[in-house]
Amino acid sequence: MDSAATVKRIAVLGSTGSLGTQTLEVARAFPSHIRIMGLAAGWNRELLERQIEEHHPGLVAFAGNGLATGDFQRLTATEIASHPEVDLVVVVTSGRAGLLPTLSALKAGKAVALANKEVLVIAGNIVMAQARDCNTTVIPVDSEHSALWQCLQGENTADVARLVLTASGGPFRGLSLTELAAVDAARALTHPTWNMGPKVTVDSATLMNKGMEVIEAHHLFGLPYTNISVMVHPQSIVHSLVEFVDGSIKAQISAPDMRLPIQYALSYPHRWAGPGWGRLRLEEAVHLTFEPPDDARFPCLRLAVHAGRAGGTTPAVLSASDEVAVALFLESRLGFNDIPKLIEAVLSRHSPTSDPTLEQILEADTWARQIAEEEASR
């Protein structure tokens, strides 16, 4: 893709979710640059059918039933990810559903624009090794990792002293432990800055989201955990920072609009003149604050970093147990403060395998889900 005018043929896996619909919005704004070749969705048949009608993809995957027939091939998401008519695969699913399609795309030599945190949390070593072996790229879509990626371009990794991931702090930043105990799903799903799916929104409220991002940053940029830190930045304007060995700090600053990092992931290595969304007025952004996260009130961050440092199958167990815990919380079967307790209980029962195969990772994931349900039933 040497020319900015070259049309990129993309597949969007998770097209009916929050980031999927925003990806298609970006594609809609750049019809001369983007052609939607594939769409994959889980259960929202009505929205998927509207997307098919608008974008006319030749390849469609749907996990549910009742999808109307049309002028497209019905494939699995993994098959779409490796299809020869696709140039770039946008993985905006959540959970382990994105892992096999990501590996399939990389094996086929496709670039992957990745917004699924669990893919790198579960199997970061395997995914990045696959990208290197096949001489292709994992392009970060999350605003924080896109920010780090942009700040690091043209820089030598050896000159980096620290990566600083910023966190909004979620909707409960100022609440005490007692107040957090009374939080229900409706309150947790109201994020002060971002419009995200239920799982990611709850993970943001517990700071598990940020802990997983630390693991992602470790794999994406190859820095040890000792050189990656988190700062709470409620304004969500500084999306992340890179501190260099000479004391200089580079930051990527923009309005909190996910269409911006999505657009950059799609346009890379070029920048396309945007249609006007996400323009930041600096005169309105004069008050920027930063503070360290509170591990006592939000222990999920600590648990995630611990799992990342432990490595092996431990991050997969963290991810799977968190997925179960969040689902139980959304069903009002688990309290907000019980989410980290359940995850820690599962981690305490895990005997990790170092340098695991993909099969061992998936087995650990399945085991963790079973144990999380068992622990929750107590």
Q: Which range (25-34, 182-191, 242-251) has the least confidence?
A: 182-191
pLDDT confidence bin for 279, thresholds 50/70/90 = confident
User: Looking at the chain, which runs of residues are DSSP E strands?
Assistant: 8-13, 34-41, 59-62, 73-74, 88-91, 111-114, 138-140, 160-167, 228-232, 238-244, 249-253
> For 323-355, b where at least 16 C-beta lie within 10 A, e where not — what string?
bbbbbbbbeeebbbbbbbebbbbbbeebebbee
For residues 295-304, average pLDDT: 94
pLDDT band at 36, cuts 50/70/90?
very high
pTM of the model: 0.93
Report the pLDDT averaged over residues 128-154: 97
* 308 neighbors 315 (Cβ within 8 angstroms): yes
DSSP states of 312-366: TTHHHHHHHHHHHHHHHHHTTSS-TTHHHHHHHHHHHT----SS--HHHHHHHHH
- Please state whether beta strands 59-62 and 34-41 pair in parallel, antiparallel, or not at all (unpaired): parallel
Q: What pLDDT score does 120 carry?
A: 97
Mean pLDDT of 120-141: 97
> What domains sit in the chain, N to C, each tagged with a CATH number?
8-140 (3.40.50.720), 146-255+289-377 (1.10.1740.10)
Share in percent of the chain as helix, strand, coil (round to 5): 45, 15, 40
pLDDT digits (tens, 9 = 90+) for 51-83: 999 999 999 999 888 898 888 999 999 999 999
Split at pLDDT 50, 70, 90, the class of 3 is very low
State the pairing for strand pair 59-62/73-74. Answer: parallel
What pLDDT is attached to residue 95?
A: 83
Per-residue model confidence (pLDDT) at position 281: 83
Tell me what the pLDDT averaged over the chain comes to. 93
* 3-state secondary structure (DSSP) of residue 37: strand
Please tell me the number of Cα atoms within 13 Å of 22 on its side-chain side.
24
For 144-177, the pLDDT digits (tens) are 999 999 999 999 999 999 999 999 887 788 888 8
Partnered with residue 39 across adjacent β-strands are 12, 60
Split at pLDDT 50, 70, 90, the class of 201 is confident
Q: Look at residue 5 and tell me whether its pLDDT is greater than 80.
A: no
Give residue 192's pLDDT band: very low, low, confident or very high (50, 70, 90): low
User: Which DSSP state fits 171?
Assistant: T
